[in-house]
Structure 1
Amino acid sequence: MTTSVPASRIPEAVHRRRWAILGVLMLSLLIVVLDNSILNVAIKTISTPAPVGLGATQSQIEWAINAYTLVFAGLLFTSGLIGDRLGRKKVLLGGIAVFGIGSALAAESGSPGQLIAYRALMALGAAFVMPATLAVLMNVFEREEQPKAIGIWAGGVGLAIAIGPITGGALLDHFWWGSVFFINVPIVIIALVLMVWLVPDSRDPRPGRLDPIGVVLSVVGLVLLVYGIIKGGQLADFTDPTVLATIGAGVVVLAAFVVFEMRSDHPSLDVSYFKNKVFSSAMAAIALVFFALMGVTFFSVFYTQSVRGYSPLQSGLLMLPLAAAQMIFAPRARLVVQRFGNKATTTAGLVVIAGTLAAFATFDADTPIWLLEVIFFLMGTGMAHIMTPTSVVIMQALPREKAGSASALSNTFRQVGGALGIAVLGSVLATAYRNGIEDKLAVLPAGLRDKAGDSIEATLGIAQKLGPQGKLLVGPADDAFLHAMHVTAFWGAGVALIGAVITALYLPGRTRANEQENEEEELVAALD
């Protein structure tokens, strides 16, 4: 059990500027999260043929997203340990610099393959940024202030989600698609200057040894698993021998990774942490909510832009309620936890997420847009009441000196959950769409049918080139996509409900400490 650390552990000069340090850390977090939220509104543009975009297929778009998340997740274990060993400030500075270089290169990509490669380079830098921000936070705030600081930190995620789509949409309205990556460069420069000036260095006095074999096994296993899932969706056939072999190989390699980590005297993933049911259920909640949400974000962009006809900027503005809800409720979620406990708060959040995802299964081409806005707001509210309590549970489960490892583990499960969500739900979407549109493509030349069935954007792109004849495909394409979206939404809702069951069973309920805090607050209010 983690014990409180005396105030003398934190130098007074650092303690006085702790809120300014938190601001800098949130800027660094903003860079990492902003990239993915900006990319969300650019998906349709990048899939448009050159010169407007890169002509990327749906599977290439999935890989552009997952190349980032897989490298990011695979290196988080090691990056947390390197930060513990070399110093978190050094790791932050190096990670942000690499991220900035990758962003500049991604902006000038000449093909989907180059974009995927440069996104992986960006992830290399981001992997060293994310765990270090939370580790530094845990080292500049005392235990009693940590929940409040983590709540504000989590609110920074909401801010990034808000800024990302709107900024991305505005850039795409005025500049080329690569501007959504180039915008990271000036933010990186500002963050580097502020980091050097404000952020103190910290490290683990007894850091763990690096685990290169574990890192390789985890990355290879995840890549094989995700590749197999995406390939199955692309072929609309999960019984294909290549698909089954790839998925099977991924599962075997990941099983070997777990066995190796259990036997290693310096594991990057300490499997013993998961003997604690509270810790495990908190991690599962994070993974499952991002599994559901990332998959929904993926199809909602095509719904708003391809089916409803909104511009990238309008599409970004439509997601503002989701971000606003996170910004409003994430810093205040700790108050709900104090009154109702972790179990009730997190479980209710997951039930709300499941309900909002199920609501997408009722949407059609002329659903009132205000209803979509309400759903996004409720989705952000649910997410805020999941991320804050689970982050506190995870970070306080380990000693302060292991903050880097705890942060890495939390973010790994978040990223792996998101990557699998995009792969699985993206494949469900692709399979359902291809099955729905296939019999309507007979009017096309044989050579175009397979490509047109890849995604709604591919169908509409080919239809536009065919002129009047192609207009006959627009209606069926919209109908096929809406059916595919409904199927995918139900899958996402089911995953969120599984998370709700896990947290209801294993997260702690309202504790005596919660009751004492409420009694003290009521007494203070009465005296005032």
Structure 2
Amino acid sequence: MTTSATLHRRRWAILGVLMLSLLIVVLDNSILNVAIKTISTPAPTGLGATQGELEWAINSYTLVFAGLLFSAGLLGDRLGRKRVLVGGLVVFGIGSALAASSGSPGELITFRAVMGLGAAFVMPATLAVLMNVFEREEQPKAIGIWAGGVGLAIAIGPITGGVLLDHFWWGSVFLVNVPIVIVAVALMLWLVPDSRDPNPGRIDAVGVVLSVVGLVLLVYGIIKGGQKADFTDATVLATIAAGVLVLAAFVVFEKRSDHPSIDVTYFKNKVFSAAIAAIALVFFALMGVTFFSVFYTQSVRGYSPLQTGLLMLPLAAAQMIFAPRARLVVDRFGHKVTTTAGLVVVAAMLAAFATLEADTPIWILEVIFFFMGAGMAHIMTPVSVVIMQALPREKAGSASALSNTFRQVGGALGIAVLGSVLSTAYRGGIEDRLGALPEGLRHTAGESIEATLGVAAKLGPRGEALVGPAHDAFLHAMHVTALWGSGIAVIGAVVVALFLPGKEPVRQEGEEEQELATAE
């Protein structure tokens, strides 16, 4: 057995290993963001993925990840967090290698789902181990550093992706995960102690199936509506309605179950619910914006993947600078002021995207990214502390799963909803300029800016007339989408301003939450 004294001495090294594990899970999505345009180009350069297929390449990972987080947290509590962490990393590594060798968008979507399966077991276990090896007084500091690691991954991802895409084929952005997994597993086996919940819950198989099926139906309907540019289509409405009904059945089942995935009684507490809502809403806005900003920098402005990665540096730098220090702001001003201000800044930066044109000085985009990262840092750190300290230490896996599930679901819905807004607005803006094309080609060309530019390239000189209108239609669609994202962030700011606590000791607040969590 590892003595507590030894554990205490090794706790910062253990935190480093946990951050490396977290790095690859976050790194993967941030690398993929830069590769989106390359994957959408026709073979042999890419896979010729449509905008809908790109959304699914991101969301197949996210939905599997979100749907299995609770069960993964419980399995960690039951089998031991170290064992689950190592197993999750291995599955993630295998999924990465398979994704790198995908021969079609369908294969990529499938293998991304395998990666999501592995990631679901990694993410909650990292925070659960962190909560186990750090005393309560050091937990906010450790969580702040952990959140800074997310910023580091956001920084490294796009630059790494850009370098790889400049020198290798698109699949290298997934293959790069494999050596990191090998190093992380070796360090994990050497350094990290095992821990488990003495009274683990039972796995809620029905709840997992209902939540995944409901989310997939809902997201599928939203993406399909964007592809058709018609949300009144009968199949679109039926799919969305079915998703909502299945999710409603999930909530009813969870309330009646004696071993629920989500203990819905936690949400009766307004502070806890507001913290969860803040995470979901900020990622809803951010993931949708990240999706379209890559097309803005590469398709409209003409930057390479590596240059795009470098352009995203201010976003990551701000997270790394401010996330570890955000707790000091909370100590001075309280959770309510800090988090509300963070959401207001994010909302303002999303609105600023609506001012960008094809010839806007690029330093303005850099300023927007920096302030967006600063705003996010002052949301994620305080909100993560509130959520993680709401449950007893031995239930840390469940608290982590709750936080990460709503973050991932918010992100998935952000990509689906804002991606569909982008797609619908783009088709509306470009459709009138595609009249001369055959009907089948006209529909394809209207799906996204990359599809239009791809058709224009095939037409040669005749297609050059489509390039300007494609850029104009995309900029209009981006402005509309950015304002939607900004509105969502404003809603988040109102929610936390109303329900998060004001300036009071974190410890006292945590104890209040703990009493709620342990009460029947």
TM-score interval, smaller chain: over 0.9
**How do 1:437-476 residues align onto structure 2 when only pairs under 5 Å count?**
437-476=430-469
**Inter-partner Cα distance in structure 2 for 1:86 and 1:513:** 31
**Count of paired positions:** 508
What amino acid does structure 2 have at the position aligned with 1:242?
T
**Inter-partner Cα distance in structure 1 for 2:48 and 2:4:** 54
Pick closer, same or farther for the CA change 1:433–1:10 going to 2, 3 Å.
Answer: farther
What amino acid does structure 2 have at the position aligned with 1:315?
T
Name 1:329's counterpart in structure 2: 322
Name 2:93's counterpart in structure 1: 100
Match of 1:466, SS?
A: helix
Name 1:40's counterpart in structure 2: 33
**Inter-partner Cα distance in structure 2 for 1:396 and 1:199:** 22
Q: Is 1:320 aligned to 2:304, yes or no? A: no
- Is the Cα contact below 8 Å between 2:331 and 2:505 reproduced in 1? no
**Inter-partner Cα distance in structure 2 for 1:401 and 1:492:** 37
**Inter-partner Cα distance in structure 2 for 1:322 and 1:10:** 40
Choose from 294, 297, 303 the match for 1:304.
297
Q: Is 1:232 aligned to 2:232, yes or no? A: no
Cα offset, 1:511, TM superposition: 1.1
Q: Deviations over 1:3-50 (max 9, x none)?
A: xxxxxx971111110000000000000010000000000000000000
- Is the Cα contact below 8 Å between 1:10 and 1:140 reproduced in 2? no
**Inter-partner Cα distance in structure 1 for 2:280 and 2:405:** 9
**How do 1:7-406 residues align onto structure 2 when only pairs under 5 Å count?**
11-406=4-399
**Inter-partner Cα distance in structure 2 for 1:32 and 1:248:** 32
Pick closer, same or farther for the CA change 1:336–1:10 going to 2, 3 Å.
Answer: farther
**Inter-partner Cα distance in structure 1 for 2:361 and 2:270:** 43
What amino acid does structure 1 have at the position aligned with 2:137?
E
**Inter-partner Cα distance in structure 1 for 2:505 and 2:177:** 46
Q: Deviations over 1:335-363 (max 9, x none)?
A: 00000000000000000000000000011
- Is the Cα contact below 8 Å between 2:69 and 2:401 reproduced in 1? yes
**How do 1:416-431 residues align onto structure 2 when only pairs under 5 Å count?**
416-431=409-424
- Is the Cα contact below 8 Å between 1:10 and 1:139 reproduced in 2? no
Name 1:503's counterpart in structure 2: 496
TM-score, L = length of structure 1: 0.95
Cα offset, 1:447, TM superposition: 2.5
**Inter-partner Cα distance in structure 2 for 1:514 and 1:120:** 39
Q: Deviations over 1:276-326 (max 9, x none)?
A: 110100000000000000000000000000000000000010000000000
Q: Deviations over 1:385-412 (max 9, x none)?
A: 0000000000001100100000001000
Pick closer, same or farther for the CA change 1:219–1:136 going to 2, 3 Å.
Answer: same
**Inter-partner Cα distance in structure 2 for 1:116 and 1:87:** 30
Match of 2:435, SS?
A: helix
Cα offset, 1:275, TM superposition: 1.1
Cα offset, 1:514, TM superposition: 9.1
What amino acid does structure 2 have at the position aligned with 1:500?
A
The runs of 5 or more residues in structure 2 that have no matched partner are 509-520
Pick closer, same or farther for the CA change 1:196–1:513 going to 2, 3 Å.
Answer: closer
**Inter-partner Cα distance in structure 2 for 1:227 and 1:453:** 19
**Inter-partner Cα distance in structure 1 for 2:406 and 2:392:** 20
Runs of 4+ in 1 over 4 A off after TM superposition: 512-515
What amino acid does structure 1 have at the position aligned with 2:232?
T
Q: Deviations over 1:419-440 (max 9, x none)?
A: 0000000000000000000000
Between the aligned residues of both structures, percent identity stands at 83
Name 2:518's counterpart in structure 1: none
What amino acid does structure 2 have at the position aligned with 1:360?
F
- Is the Cα contact below 8 Å between 1:341 and 1:514 reproduced in 2? no
Match of 1:176, SS?
A: coil
**Inter-partner Cα distance in structure 2 for 1:513 and 1:219:** 34
What amino acid does structure 2 have at the position aligned with 1:504?
A
Q: Deviations over 1:130-160 (max 9, x none)?
A: 0000000000000000000000000000000
Cα offset, 1:446, TM superposition: 2.4
**Inter-partner Cα distance in structure 1 for 2:366 and 2:238:** 42
Pick closer, same or farther for the CA change 1:422–1:109 going to 2, 3 Å.
Answer: same
Q: Deviations over 1:136-193 (max 9, x none)?
A: 0000000000000000000000000000000000000000000000000000000000
The runs of 5 or more residues in structure 1 that have no matched partner are 1-8, 516-528
- Is the Cα contact below 8 Å between 1:49 and 1:56 reproduced in 2? yes
TM-score, L = length of structure 2: 0.97
**Inter-partner Cα distance in structure 1 for 2:240 and 2:437:** 33
**Inter-partner Cα distance in structure 2 for 1:168 and 1:458:** 22
What amino acid does structure 1 have at the position aligned with 2:358?
A
What amino acid does structure 2 have at the position aligned with 1:32?
V
**Inter-partner Cα distance in structure 2 for 1:512 and 1:257:** 36
Please provide the CA RMSD for this pair: 1.2
